[in-house]
Structures are given as C-alpha cells and as structure tokens.
Structure 1
Amino acid sequence: MTETARIPAEMLDRLASDAFAVLNWARRMGMPKAVQIEETVKAFEVALGYRQPPDCEDGALKPGDNGEEVTALQSELSELGIGVTVNGAYDDETRVAVEQFQTALGMVPHGFATKLTRERLSECVRCNKTDH
C-alpha cells in the first residue's frame, strides 16, 4: 500500500487565503455564484501553473524571469512600500509583492505582472498611493 502525499498545512493556508481573495473579488464584481466558483478554479489553475492568467500576453513578467524590467518592477513596488528585494529576479517574494499590489487595487491576484498590472503600478507610483 502506498502512502498518499499530503499538502503541507502552510500551503493549504495560502491556497485558502487565495481562494478567499478571488471569491471576494468576484462578489464585489457582482458575478453570479457559478461564475465566482469558475473564477476561483481558474485562479487555482494559474497558481498551480496549469494555465496563464486570461490577460497574460507575451510581454507579461512572471516567476523565473530576470533582468532590467524585473528590476524596474521591483523598484516601483518598493517605492509604494510593498516589501520586495530589488535584485532583478522574479522570485516568490516578487510574485507575492505583485499579488499584494493587485489585491490592493481590486485586481485578480494572480502574481503575473501583465501590461495592465504594470500600467496601474506606474500610475500609482506617479500618484504615490496604492488606492488609485
């Protein structure tokens, strides 16, 4: 008999928190319950790497990316007081920081720095606030 792998408790907590954030967003958008569930499932698929966010075009920055664009993203997040190390590597810390920013603006927190996310981030840096 083989043992079944169990998801660590801290991972379950994170997934539950993410699901709650997506459901709250879907409710605020006035989506029907069936669509709320569908959007939550999509968010999990994105988080698990089975799909990209719906607005994730070719130019989106994502975990694993490196370079000047990532450094610029991290710098802008840092300017807004969102804790992130500016090192040019799109690591887990950067993904979480992007999710925090997306959540603060009522966006779906998928952690990919899409064109829309980066435009909103630049706007907020110019205005120096996260409730833009």
Structure 2
Amino acid sequence: MTRQLISSGSTFEQEMGYSRAVVSHDAGGDWIFVSGTTGFDYASMTIAGDVVAQTDQCLRNIQAALAQAGSSLADVVRVTYVLPDAADFPACWPTLRRYFGDVLPAAMMISAGLADPRMKIEIEVTARKPGPATPSV
C-alpha cells in the first residue's frame, strides 16, 4: 500500500501539520480521505460571511483535492458536516443537493465549535475510486 499526500496550498496545512487529502493506493483501488475543509478561498485566504457561500466554497475546495487525487465528487461514499450553529444547516441543503444529489453518500451532521469564529461550516469526505476490474476466470 502506498500513500499520496495532497495539499491545497493553505497555510493551515503547514501550521497545523496535516494534508488536505491522503490517497491510499492498494490493489483494489484508491481510498481518498479529504480533511475537514472550510469555506476559505485558499488562493486569497479570504472567507465569505454567509454559510451558503462557505458551503459552496468548501465543496469547490474538496472538488479540487479530489481532482488532484484523480477522483471526483461522484466517488464520495461518506460525508461529515460540522456547523457551530445547527440552525444554519437547512440553508445549506440546496447547495449540498446540487453537489451530492446524484451521489447520495452516507452523511452525518455534527454541531460543534470550529477553529476560527468566521467559519460557519466544515466538511470532510471519504471517497473510493475503484481499481481496474479483475478479469473473471
């Protein structure tokens, strides 16, 4: 089994010592573990004040990490949403449906504090990209 580390270029990754995503390669395919991802635009290190805009940016950040791993949102099998204010979650649903409506991954929402008070949502995903099919004998 080999590992591929993926970075978004975010300063948070170096400061805290983690990767945006880790790909675990094995004979059956690739598991892609994307770290909790917030609504920061990593190019400008800015964040919108609105939970819906942050949700959209989170998912664009996740898409970029998955693309670096040779994967996409279509491969997501599990998603965890963390929001400091659970009452904000329903406002995110239309955006989540836009990204995951055809994928329908297993999901969970947790209400908990986040590292920066500007953060209104953090999203973590696990994806599975199958390896080549093994010919049957």
Same fold (TM over 0.5): no
Q: TM-score, normalized by length of structure 1? A: 0.27
Kindly indicate whether structure 1 or structure 2 has the higher relative contact order, using CA contacts under 8 Å at least 6 residues apart: 2
Structure number with higher helix proportion: 1
Q: TM-score, normalized by length of structure 2? A: 0.26
